[in-house]
Amino acid sequence: MSPWLSLSTGIRAWSRAVGPHLRSPRINVWRMTTPRLYSTNISGHNANSHEDKNASGGFGKAPLVIAASVASGSLGYFLSERNAKRNSSLNVPDSPTFGSPNDFKSAINELQASLATESVSTDPEDLRHHGFSDNDYHPTLLHSVVVYPQSTEDVVKIVKIATKYRMPVIPYSGATSLEGHFRGHSVGGICVDLNHMDKVLEIHQDDSDLVCQPGAQWMDINNMLKKKGIPLFFPIDPGPGATIGGMLSTGCSGTNAVRYGTAKGEWFLNAASLFIFVLPSGEVIKTRSRSRKSAAGFDITKLFIGAEGTLGIVTEVTIRLAPVLATSVAVVQFPDVKSATAASMEVINQGLGIQCVELLDGISMKATNNYGMSTRKWPEKDSLFFKFQGPSAASLKDTAKAVERIVAKHGGTGFSFARTEKEAEDLWMDRKNVYWSALSLIEGCKGMATDVCVPVSKLPELVHQTKKDLEDVGIISSIVGHVGDGNFHALLLFKTDEELAIAQKAASRIVHRAIAMDGTCTGEHGVGIGKKKYLVEELGQGTVDLMKTVKRAIDPLGLFNPGKLYPESNPPTSKSHSATSTN
pLDDT over 70 (residue 25): no
d(CA 274, CA 158): 11
Q: How far apart are the first and last CA of the chain?
A: 29
At 484, give phi and psi (nearest 5°): -65, -20
Q: In the prediction, which pLDDT does 130 show?
A: 96
pLDDT over 50 (residue 548): yes
Confidence band of 265 (pLDDT split at 50, 70, 90): confident
d(CA 333, CA 407): 9
- Amino acid present at 548: K
57-61, 308-312, 453-457, 474-478: least confident range: 57-61
Confidence band of 62 (pLDDT split at 50, 70, 90): very low
pLDDT over 90 (residue 32): no
**Percent of the chain residues past pLDDT 70, beyond the cut:** 80
Helix (H) or strand (E) holding 272: strand 268-276
Q: Give CB contacts under 8 A, 24+ apart, made by 376-380.
A: 378/331, 378/430, 379/333, 379/414
Q: What angle do CA 130, 135, 140 make, to 5 degrees?
A: 45
Burial per residue of 262-296, b for 16 or more beta-carbon CB atoms within 10 angstroms, e otherwise: bbebebbbbbbbbbbeeebebebeebbeeeeeeee
Q: In the prediction, which pLDDT does 572 show?
A: 59
**Percent of the chain residues past pLDDT 90, beyond the cut:** 74
pLDDT over 70 (residue 52): no
Burial per residue of 121-146, b for 16 or more beta-carbon CB atoms within 10 angstroms, e otherwise: beeeebbebbbbbebbbbeebbbbbb
At 478, give phi and psi (nearest 5°): -90, 145
d(CA 319, CA 313): 17
Q: In the prediction, which pLDDT does 277 show?
A: 33
- Mean pLDDT along residues 437-450: 96
Q: In the prediction, which pLDDT does 573 show?
A: 61
pLDDT over 90 (residue 570): no
44-53, 80-89, 200-209: least confident range: 44-53
pLDDT over 50 (residue 470): yes
Q: In the prediction, which pLDDT does 42 show?
A: 35
13-17, 36-40, 273-277, 415-419: least confident range: 36-40
Tell me the pLDDT tens digit for each residue of 515-525. Answer: 999 999 999 99
- Mean pLDDT along residues 88-104: 74
Confidence band of 241 (pLDDT split at 50, 70, 90): very high
d(CA 159, CA 175): 21
Domains of the chain from N-terminus onward:
101-193 (3.30.43.10), 200-323 (3.30.465.10), 326-530 (3.40.462.10)
Nearest to 306 by CA among 250, 252, 243: 250
Tell me the pLDDT tens digit for each residue of 273-285. Answer: 654 332 345 788 8
d(CA 382, CA 366): 10
Q: Regarding predicted confidence, which is higher, 90 or 178?
A: 178
- Mean pLDDT along residues 20-28: 39
d(CA 288, CA 270): 5
pLDDT over 70 (residue 229): yes
The pLDDT mean for the chain works out to 85
- Amino acid present at 453: C
pLDDT over 50 (residue 492): yes
pLDDT over 50 (residue 161): yes
- Mean pLDDT along residues 247-260: 95
18-27, 327-336, 473-482: least confident range: 18-27
Per residue, the 3-state secondary structure of 447-506, as one string, reads EEEEEEECCHHHHHHHHHHHHHHHHHHCCCEEEEEECCCCEEEEEEEECCHHHHHHHHHH
Confidence band of 251 (pLDDT split at 50, 70, 90): very high
pLDDT over 50 (residue 575): yes
Q: In the prediction, which pLDDT does 437 show?
A: 97
pLDDT over 90 (residue 60): no
Q: In the prediction, which pLDDT does 281 show?
A: 53
Q: In the prediction, which pLDDT does 27 show?
A: 36
Burial per residue of 507-524, b for 16 or more beta-carbon CB atoms within 10 angstroms, e otherwise: bbebbebbbebebbbbbb
Secondary structure (3-state) at 191: strand
pLDDT over 60 (residue 110): yes
Cα atoms in the Cβ-side hemisphere of radius 13 Å centred on 201: 13
23-37, 225-239, 247-261, 344-358: least confident range: 23-37
pLDDT over 80 (residue 320): yes
Beta bridge partners of 466: none
pLDDT over 90 (residue 326): yes
Q: In the prediction, which pLDDT does 48 show?
A: 39
Q: Regarding predicted confidence, which is higher, 418 or 48?
A: 418
Q: In the prediction, which pLDDT does 549 show?
A: 94
| Element counts in the chain: helices (H) and strands (E) | 20, 20
Are the C-beta atoms of 273 and 285 separated by less than 8 Å? yes
Nearest to 528 by CA among 299, 146, 251: 251
Are the C-beta atoms of 312 and 274 separated by less than 8 Å? yes
Query: For residue 25, how far is the Cα from the chain centroid?
Result: 61
Q: Residues 6 or more apart from 371 whose CB is under 8 A from it?
A: 433, 436, 437, 440
Helix axes 459-473, 497-516, angle to 10 degrees: 160
d(CA 5, CA 534): 35
Q: In the prediction, which pLDDT does 286 show?
A: 86
Confidence band of 270 (pLDDT split at 50, 70, 90): confident
Nearest to 246 by CA among 209, 210, 271: 271
53-62, 159-168, 370-379: least confident range: 53-62
